[in-house]
Amino acid sequence: MQTCCEENTRLTRRGVLVRGAAAGGAAALTGLAGQGLSTRLAFAAGTYTGDTVVVLSLRGGFDGLSAIAPIGDTDYYKARPSIALPKSQAIAGNTMFGLHPALAPLLPLWKNGSLAAVHAVGQANRTRSHFAAMEEMERAAAGTSLRSGWLDRMLAMTGATGPLAGVSLGSAMPARLFGGPTADVSMASVDGFTLAGENAKRPMAASLRAMYASAPGLLAAPALAADAALTATTSVRGTAYTPANGAAYPKTPLGDALRDVARLITSKSGLVAAAVDSGDWDMHEGLGTAVKGQRMYDNLYDVSLALAAFTADLGPAGMAGVTLVTVSEFGRRVAENASRGADHGHGNAMLLLGGGIRGGTVYADWPTLAPAALADGDLAATTDYRSVIAEILQKRCGIGSVNDVFPGITASSFGLATARG
Q: What are the tens digits of pLDDT across the range 225-235?
A: 888 898 899 99
Say what the pLDDT of residue 175 is.
Answer: 55
Residue 313 within any structural domain of the chain: yes
278 vs 283: CA distance, rounded Å: 14
Residue 306 within any structural domain of the chain: yes
Residue 210: its H or E element: helix 204-212
CB atoms within 10 A of CB 246: 8
Say what the pLDDT of residue 13 is.
Answer: 28
Residue 246 within any structural domain of the chain: yes
18 vs 27: CA distance, rounded Å: 6
Say what the pLDDT of residue 226 is.
Answer: 81
Residue burial 264-288, b: 16+ Cβ < 10 Å; e: rest: bbbbebbbbbbbbbbbebbbbeebb
| Contact yes or no for 34/156 (Cβ under 8 A) | no
Q: How far is CA 144 from CA 191, 252, 404, in A?
A: 39, 38, 12
Angle between helices 204-212 and 217-237 (to 10 degrees): 150
Residue 172 within any structural domain of the chain: yes
Query: Can you say whether residue 415 is alpha, beta or left, with left for phi > 0 and alpha for psi between -120 and 50 degrees?
Result: left
269 vs 262: CA distance, rounded Å: 11
390 vs 397: CA distance, rounded Å: 10
Residue 416 within any structural domain of the chain: no
Residue 379 within any structural domain of the chain: yes
| Contact yes or no for 79/369 (Cβ under 8 A) | yes
Residue 384: its H or E element: strand 383-384
321 vs 49: CA distance, rounded Å: 9
Ranges under pLDDT 50 in the chain: 1-3, 5-45
| Contact yes or no for 160/397 (Cβ under 8 A) | no
| Start-to-end Cα distance in the chain | 45
Predicted confidence (pLDDT) per residue in 359-406, tens digit: 999 999 999 999 999 999 999 999 999 999 999 999 999 999 999 999
DSSP letter, residue 188: S
Largest Cα separation within the chain, whole Å, is 70
Say what the pLDDT of residue 221 is.
Answer: 78
Look at residues 119, 155, 118, 149 and name the one whose alpha carbon lies nearest to residue 136: 149
| Contact yes or no for 378/334 (Cβ under 8 A) | yes
SS3 396: helix
> 3-state DSSP helix/strand/coil percent for the chain, to nearest 5?
35, 15, 50
The pair phi, psi for residue 381, each rounded to 5°, is -90, 105
Looking at the 3D structure of the chain, how many domains does it have?
A: 1
Cα-based angle 285, 255, 190 (whole degrees, multiple of 5): 130
Residue 175 within any structural domain of the chain: yes
SS3 360: coil
Look at residues 4, 27, 95, 47 and name the one whose alpha carbon lies nearest to residue 341: 4
396 vs 399: CA distance, rounded Å: 8
Residue 412 within any structural domain of the chain: no
| Contact yes or no for 379/332 (Cβ under 8 A) | no
Helices (H), 238-377: 253-266, 295-319
**Domain of residue 204, residue span:** 3-397
Bridge partner list, 375: 378
